[in-house]
Chains A and B, each alone.
Chain A
Amino acid sequence: MSILDIRGLTVEFPSRKDVFTASRNVNLSVDAGKILGVVGESGAGKSTVGNAVIGLLENPGRIAEGEIHLDGKRIDNLAAESMRKLRGKRIGMIFQDPLTSLDPLQTIEFQLVETIRLHLPLSKTEARAHAVDLLDQVGIPNPEERIAQYPHQFSGGMRQRVVIALALCADPEVVIADEPTTALDVSIQAQILKLMKRLCEEKNVAMVVITHDMGVIADLTDHVAVMYRGDLVEYGESKQVLGAPKHPYTQSLIAAVPRPDVKVHRFPQVDYIEGSAKPFKQIDIGTHWLGKARDYKSVDGPLLDVKDITMKFLTKDAWISKNRQYFTALDKVSFDIHAGETFGLVGESGSGKSTMARVITGLYHPAGGTAHFAGQELTSLKDKKQVLAMRRQMQMIFQDPFSSLNSRMRVRDIVAEPIKFHKLASTNSEVNQIVDDLLEHVGLGIAAAAKFPHEFSGGQRQRISIARALATRPRFLVCDEPTSALDVSIQAQILNLLKDLQDELGLTMLFISHDLAVIRQMCNRTGVMRHGQLLEVADTEDLFDKPQHAYTRELLSLMPSMDGLSRQNLEEELA
C-alpha cells in the first residue's frame, strides 16, 4: 500500500472577483522508497499540491474537494495543531532556496537539535549525536566541527544538504521537495540529486519531487505526474511517460527541452502552450526600416575583438590605495566574434560571464585590456557622438523579463524610446508605425502597444525586451541568459525567435548561458568560463565532442543526460 495517497484533490483560491482553481481532481500516490516527480510549468499547480499535503496552503487557498491519506489515515481534515505535529515528524519538507530556508542567526547545531527534540524524545546530547550522524549521512565533511557553524559559513550546495538533514531529522515517512535544485549550479545539482536518491532508498522514504526540470525528472524519479494549468494530464512510470508520452502537452513539453546530445535547427513546433505568438506579419526586410540593420559597413576580421579584459570590483575600500581589496571578476579574457556568428559563453554562477557582457555594452569600465568593435576601440571612447553611435549598434537582452521593463511605461513608449532618442525616425506617426511593426515581428500584435508590462507573461515580456533591443537597428546583440527565467516551452519559442531574427537581419550575437544544452542549440563557437578566466574556446560541436579542458569535461559529465526523453517531433529538425 502506498504511504501517501492523494485522491481527487481540488484546491481553490477564492479572490475578490472569482475563484481560481489551482489544482483540479488530482490523484497521486507514492510508495515507500520511491520517488514521485511532479512536473509542470509555472502556474501548473504543482507546488499547490505539495503545500496541500503539508497543510501549508497560502491564504486564502483551501482544499475544496478530495482527500489526502498518510499511511491509510486521512490527514487533510486534521486540526491545525495536529497537522503541525505531523509536519517535520512524519512529513519532511525541502525548499527551493537554501540561502533563505535556514535561520542565519542560529548555528546549524541549534536548528537541528531544536527540530529533533521537537519530534523525538531525546536528550540534548543524544539529539546532538543524532544531528552529527545526519550531517554525516548527507555528506557534510567533519560534521563534528561544522555543526557548530552558522549557515553563512556553508556554500549553497552544503546548505541544501543541511536542509535535507533537517527534513530527515525525525525519520519522516514522506519528504516533499519543492524545486530542490533549481537555485543550485549544475555541478552541485548532480550531487544533490544523487544524495536524495541514495537517502530515499536507504531510509525507505517516499519522496515527492516538485520541479519544472525534465532533466531532474529523468535522473531521479520512478514515477512522474505531468500537470498543466491545474490538471493532471499524464501520470505513470517515468520511463514510460518520458520515453513515449501520450498526452499532447507532455509531448510538446518534452520536445521543447534542449538536448545536450544533439543539435536541432529549430525547436519543434510547440503547440498546446501559451499561444501568445501571433503569426509574423510578413514584412519585406530588404526595404523595411528594420532591414537597414544590415547596411552597416562590413569589417575585415572579427566584429568584436576582446583582448586581455580585466575587471576588478572593490570589496574593501581604504584611504591608502594599496590597502584596498579587490575581487577579480575577469582575468585577462580574450576572444573574438565574427560577423554573423553566435558566440556562446558558458559557466556557473560567479564565473564572470555576465560581467563580460556588461563590459562589452559599456555598463562597466574594465580595469585593463581592450575591446575593438568594428575596428573601433570601445573602452577609450570619449567623444559623445561616437559613444552613441556605438551604443546604437550594440543592444542587450536581459535575464529577468520582470525587471528589465519599466513597469510605469506603456509598451509603446518602451519600444519607441530608443527610436526617438537616436532620432531614427522623423515623425511621430513613423515612430508609431515602426513600433507596431516591431511588436508584430516579435509575435506580439499591435494591441500590446497600449498596455503596461505587468499585463504580460514572462515570455511575452521577453518579446517586448527583444523588440526594444531591435529598435535601434543593432547589428550586435548581447543576450545575457535570455531564457533562464522562463519555462521550457516559452524558452523554445524565444530561442526560435532569436534564431529567426538572426537569419533575417544578419545579427551577430553573444549568447550567455549556464545551460550547456541551450548553448549547443544556439552557438557556433563557445567559450567556457570559470572564476573570471576563459578556459577554452572552440567550435560548439567540437567542444561537446572532444572537450579539451578538464573543467569542460566535468561540466559535460554533470549534465542531466535526457537519454530517456522521447525524440518524437525532433527527428526532422536534427542537424
Chain B
Amino acid sequence: MTDNTPTVSGSEASEAPRSAMARFLDSDLLHSFLSSKVTVLAAFTTVVLMLAALFAPLVAPFNPFDLAQISIMDARIPPIGMEWSDPRYLLGTDDQGRDLLSGILYGMRISLAVGFLSVAFAAVLGISLGLISGYVGGRTDAIIMRIAEVQLTFPAILLALLIDGIANGIFGNIDRETWAIWILTFSIGLSFWVQYARTVRGSTLVEKNKEYVQAARVIGIPAWIIMIRHVLPNVLGPVLVIATINLALAIITEATLSFLGVGVPSTQPSLGTLIRIGNDFLFSGEWWIAIFPGLALAILVLAVNLLGDWLRDALNPKLR
C-alpha cells in the first residue's frame, strides 16, 4: 500500500475542497433552473411580488390604513383608460375610496405573511411528529398516524373555519385586528401538518434502516441526536417541495377564509378581503374592485406553484 501509483481518479482526492458558492454555481440544480424559462419567469415574478409586498409602504402610492388619505368622494373610480378615471388611481378605487393598487400591495403583504407563517408552523409540527413517528415506531407511530388520518377526513378549509370559529367564540370581537392573523395562521397551519408528517415519516422509515444510522447507533449516540443530526437533513428534500406548493395553498386558503368573512377584518384587507368587497359590486359594473385583487392572487399563486413543480422535478432523481 505504500508505493501505489496514483492514476486519474487519484488526483481527485488531493483536490482542494471547493467553496459552497463555487459548488452552487456549478450545481445541476442551478443549471436545471436556468434552463427552464418558465421557472425563471415564475421565480422573477415571485420575487418581484414579494419585494413589492414587503416594501409596500415605500412602493404604494397611498396608505389604505390611513384614514386621512381616503375620501368617500373618491369611491368607485374606474381604472386608468376608462371614462371617469383619475390619474391618481392607476387601478381605480374601491367602495370606500381606497386606492386599489395600494390595497393590493398591502393586502399581498398580509396574504404572504399568513402564508409563510402557517407553512412554517405546519412544517415544524409535521416534521417533528413525522420524524418521531417514523423513527420510534410502534405505539407512538400508531397514535400519531391515527390522529393524522382522522384529521384527513376533514377538509382543510372546514378545519380552519372550525378553529377560527372557536377562537372567535373565546376571544370575542375585542381587539380583533391584532389576533386575527395569528388565529388564521394557527388554523391554516394546523390543517396542513399531516402532509409533512406523512412524507417525513415515510422517508424516515427508509433512512433509519440505512447503515449510517446503524453506525451512529453502534457508536452509542442517543436516538434524539440521531434523529436531528442524521435523519432530519436527509429527509428534508421532499419537505421543501411540499412547503413551496403548500405556500400557494395557504395563500389561497387565507383568501378563501377572508372571502367568507372569517379571516382578517376588512380594516386590514388581505387579497381575499378585497375580493369579497369587490364581489358585492361585480354585477353593478364596478368589476375592477374584485378582478384586480383576484388577478394578483392568481399570478402570485401560479408563480409559486410553478416554482414548486420545478423543485419537485429537479429534486426527484427518477424524473431526470
Q: Report the stretch among B5-13, B92-100, B174-182, B266-274 that lies at the interface.
A: B5-13
Residues of B within 8 A of A191 (CB): none
CB distance from A430 to the nearest CB of B (A): 19
Which residue of the partner chain, among A279, A391, A500, contacts B3 with CB atoms under 8 Å?
A279
Cα of A273 to Cα of B6 in the assembled complex, Å: 8
Range, interface on chain A: 35 or more
Does B215 interact with chain A (Cβ within 8 Å)?
Answer: yes
Q: Of B5, B12, B28, B212, which contacts A272 at CB under 8 A?
A: B5
Interface residue A229 (Cβ < 8 Å from any Cβ of B): yes
- Tell which of A16, A270, A448 touches B13, judged by Cβ atoms closer than 8 Å: A448
- Measured between beta carbons, the chain B residues less than 8 angstroms from A274 are 7, 9-10
A275-B6, A277-B4, A496-B1 known; A387 vs B210 contact (CB < 8 Å):
no
Question: Is A457 within 8 A of B9, CB to CB?
Answer: yes
Task: Give residues 441-462 of A contacting B (CB, 8 Å).
Answer: 443-445, 447-448, 450-451, 455-457, 460
* Proximity string of chain B (196-215) to chain A, C-beta cutoff 8 Å, 1 when within and 0 when not: 00000000000000111011
Minimum CB–CB distance for B196 against chain A, Å: 19
Residues on the A chain within 8 Å of B14, using CB: 445, 447
A394 at the interface (CB under 8 A from B): yes
Partner of A421, one of B31, B210, B220: B220
**Are B230 and A406 in contact, CB atoms less than 8 angstroms apart?**
yes
* Pair B215/A398 contact, Cβ less than 8 Å: yes
Q: Is B41 an interface residue (CB 8 A)?
A: no
Instruction: Report if A388 contacts B (CB, 8 A).
Output: yes
Among residues of B, the one whose C-beta sits closest to the C-beta of A497 is B1
B221 CB-CB contact with A under 8 Å: yes
- Whether A445 touches B13, Cβ cut-off 8 Å, given contacts A408-B233, A500-B1, is yes
Q: Is B17 an interface residue (CB 8 A)?
A: yes
Secondary structure call for the A interface = loop
In this assembly, does A392 line the interface, its C-beta being within 8 Å of a C-beta of chain B?
yes
- Answer yes or no: B218 CB below 8 A from chain A CBs: yes
A406 near B234: Cβ-Cβ < 8 Å: yes
How far is B17's CA from A468's CA once the two chains are assembled, in angstroms?
A: 20
Give, as a whole number of angstroms, the nearest-CB distance from A445 to chain B. 6
Q: Find the A residue at minimum CB distance from B232.
A: A408
Residues of A within 8 Å of B2, CB to CB, are 279-280
Known: A399-B211, A404-B212, A404-B215. A421 touches B234 (CB 8 A): no
Q: Interface digits, A165-190 against B, CB 8 Å rule (1 contact, 0 not)?
A: 00000000000000000000000000
The minimal Cβ–Cβ distance linking A170 to chain B, given in whole angstroms, is 32
Which residues of the other chain, B, contact A418 by a CB distance below 8 angstroms? Answer: 219
How distant is the Cα of A448 from the Cα of B17 in the complex, in angstroms?
8
Assess whether A363 is interfacial by the CB under 8 Å rule. yes
Report the minimum CB–CB distance from B195 to chain A (whole Å): 23
Q: Which residues in window 177-222 of A have CB below 8 A to B?
A: none
Chain B residues with CB below 8 A from A229, complex form:
8
Cβ contact within 8 Å between A275 and B1:
no
In the bound complex, what is the Cα–Cα distance between A407 and B210 (angstroms)? 11
Least Cβ distance of B27 to chain A in Å?
A: 11
Which residues of B have CB within 8 Å of A277? Answer: 1, 4
Does residue B66 face the partner (Cβ distance < 8 Å to A)? no
Give Cα A229 to B215, complex, Å.
33
Residue of A whose beta carbon sits closest to that of B214: A363
Partner among A405, A451, A472 whose Cβ is within 8 Å of the Cβ of B219 = A472
Q: CB within 8 Å of B: which of A400-415?
A: 400, 403-409
Does any Cβ of A come within 8 Å of B217's Cβ? yes
Q: How far is the CB of B138 from chain A (nearest CB, A)?
A: 11
CB neighbours of B5 from chain A (8 A): 271-272, 275
List the B residue with the shortest CB-CB distance to A500: B1
Distance between Cα atoms of A450 and B9 in the complex (Å)? 18
A395 x B12 contact (CB < 8 A):
no
Contacts of B47 in A (CB 8 A): none
> Which chain A residues border B215 with CB–CB below 8 Å?
396, 398, 404-405, 465, 468
A288 is an interface residue with CB less than 8 A from chain B = no
Given contacts A274-B10, A406-B212, A444-B13, contact A396 B3 (CB under 8 A): no
| Residues of B within 8 A of A (CB-CB), count | 33
Tell whether, in the assembled complex, residue A391 and residue B218 are in contact, meaning their CB atoms are under 8 Å apart: yes
CB distance from B10 to the nearest CB of A (A): 3
Give the residues from 67 to 106 in chain B that come closer than 8 angstroms, CB to CB, to chain A: none
Chain A residues whose C-beta falls within 8 Å of the C-beta of B1 in the assembled complex: 277, 279-280, 443, 493, 496-497, 500
Chain A nearest Cβ from B205, distance in angstroms: 14
Contact partners of A270 in chain B: CB under 8 A: 4
Q: In chain A, what residue has the closest Cβ to B9?
A: A274
Q: Give complex CA distance A271, B6 in Å.
A: 9
Tell whether A404 pairs with B13 under 8 Å between CB atoms, given A279-B3, A421-B220, A472-B219. Answer: no
Closest-by-CB residue of B relative to A396 is B218
Question: CA–CA, A511 to B95, complex, Å?
Answer: 82
Is B220 a contact of A391 with CB atoms below 8 Å?
yes
- Between B4, B15, B16, B210, the greatest number of chain A beta carbons within 10 A of the residue's beta carbon is seen for B4
Query: A524 on the interface (CB 8 Å rule)?
Result: no
Contact with A along B167-189 (1 / 0, CB 8 A): 00000000000000000000000
Separation in Å of the A244 CB from the closest CB of chain B?
Answer: 23
B9-37 CB mask vs A (1 if < 8 Å, else 0) is 11011111100000000001001000000
User: Judging by beta carbons under 8 Å apart, are B218 and A394 in contact?
Assistant: yes
CA distance A229 to B211 in the complex (A): 30
Q: Are B4 and A271 in contact (CB under 8 A)?
A: yes
Taking the complex as formed, is A101 at the interface, i.e. its CB lies under 8 A from any CB of chain B? no
Is the CB–CB distance between A455 and B234 below 8 Å?
Answer: no
**Do A405 and B220 have beta carbons less than 8 Å apart?**
no
A447 touching B16, Cβ below 8 Å? yes
User: For A465, what are the chain B residues with a Cβ–Cβ distance below 8 Å?
Assistant: 215
Residues in A whose Cβ lies below 8 Å from that of B214: 358, 363, 396, 398, 404
Which single residue of chain B is at the shortest CB-CB distance from A472?
A: B219
Most B CB contacts (10 A, CB to CB) among A395, A404, A422, A444 go to A404
Q: Does A21 contact B (CB under 8 A)?
A: no
Interface string of B267-310 (1 = CB under 8 A from A): 00000000000000000000000000000000000000000000
Q: Which residue of B lies closest to A282 (CB)?
A: B2
Is A417 an interface position by the 8 A CB rule? Answer: yes
Q: Which of B31, B220, B229, B230 contacts A422 (CB 8 A)?
A: B220
**A395: contacting residue among B7, B8, B218, CB under 8 A:** B218
Given contacts A16-B31, A276-B9, contact A392 B3 (CB under 8 A): no
CB atoms of B13 and A276 under 8 A apart: yes
Residue B216 interfacial (CB < 8 Å): yes
Q: Does A376 count as interface, using CB distance less than 8 angstroms?
A: no
In the assembled complex, how far is the CB of residue B143 from the closest CB belonging to chain A, in whole angstroms?
A: 17
Write out, one digit per residue, whether chain B residues 45-66 have a CB within 8 A of any chain A CB (1) or not (0): 0000000000000000000000
Shortest C-beta distance, B320 to chain A (Å), equals 10
A269: interface (CB < 8 Å):
yes
A361 at the interface (CB under 8 A from B): yes
Rounded to whole Å, the gap between the CB of B301 and the closest CB of chain A is 32
Contact A362 B218 (CB under 8 A): yes
- A497 CA to B12 CA, complexed, in Å: 21
* Nearest Cβ on chain B to A311's Cβ, whole angstroms: 16
Q: Return chain B residues, CB-CB under 8 Å to A396.
A: 214-215, 218
CB neighbours of A271 from chain B (8 A): 4-5
Choose one: B16, B219, B229; the contact of A391 (CB below 8 Å).
B219
Q: Tell which of B9, B31, B217, B233 has the most Cβ of chain A within 10 Å.
A: B9
Bound CA–CA A447/B13 (angstroms): 7
Over the window 222-250 of chain B, the binary record of Cβ atoms lying under 8 Å from chain A Cβ atoms (1 yes, 0 no) is 00000001100110000000000000000
6 A-B pairs with the lowest CB-CB distances in the bound complex, closest first: A275-B10, A275-B6, A391-B220, A404-B211, A408-B233, A450-B17
11 contacts between A and B (CB under 8 A): A16-B28, A274-B9, A275-B7, A398-B211, A398-B215, A404-B211, A408-B233, A409-B233, A421-B219, A447-B14, A472-B219
B residues lining the A interface (CB < 8 Å) = 1-10, 12-17, 28, 31, 210-212, 214-221, 229-230, 233-234
Q: A391-B218, A409-B233 are in contact. List 14 more A-B contacts (CB 8 A).
A: A269-B4, A272-B7, A276-B13, A279-B4, A280-B1, A395-B219, A400-B211, A403-B211, A408-B234, A409-B230, A421-B219, A445-B14, A465-B215, A497-B1
